[in-house]
Amino acid sequence: MNFSESLKKNRDFQMNYRKGKSLANRYLVMYVRENGLLKNRLGISVSKKVGNSVVRHRVTRLLRESYRLHEEYFQCGYDIVIIARPSAKGRSYFDMESALVHLGKLHHIYEKETQQILQNGED
C-alpha cells in the first residue's frame, strides 16, 4: 500500500513543471518527476478557467478520490501534478477516473494489469 502526501509548496509545483515529463489527454495534463522518496506526492491544480470555486472543488475532489482508489497501482517515488483542463468541467467521476488512469499508463507509472497477472499466476 502506498502512502501518498499532498504536494503543497509552490516551488515543488514549479520544479515539476520545469523538470517533469508532461503528457495530456482530453481532460487532464499530468506532470511526473522522480522525487527520490519511497512515496508519491500528489498535487492537483484547477484554474479559474475550469469554473467557479464550486466547480473547481468538485473536480479536485473527483481527482483526489480517483487517485486514492487507484493508489496501490501507481509506482512509488514520484511527484505527480495533475492539471484539470477546462473540458473537465461537469464531467462524471468515471470520466475523471479513466483520464487519470490513462495518463498513469502513458507515463508507465500505473501497473494494474501486471499485478493482476501475478496474482492470477499464484492461484
Is the per-residue pLDDT at 119 higher than 80?
no
> Do the Cβ atoms of 67 and 94 come closer than 8 Å?
no
pLDDT tens digits along 56-96: 999 999 999 999 999 999 999 999 999 999 999 999 999 99
Of 83, 107, 87, the closest CA to residue 95 belongs to: 87
> Beta 5-6 vs 78-84: how paired, if at all?
unpaired
Topology of domain 5-122, per CATH?
Answer: Ribosomal Protein S5; domain 2 (3.30.230)
pTM above 0.95, yes or no: no
The runs of H, that is alpha helices, within the chain are 10-19, 53-70, 93-106, 112-122
Domain ranges of the chain: 5-122
pLDDT tens digits along 87-98: 999 999 999 999
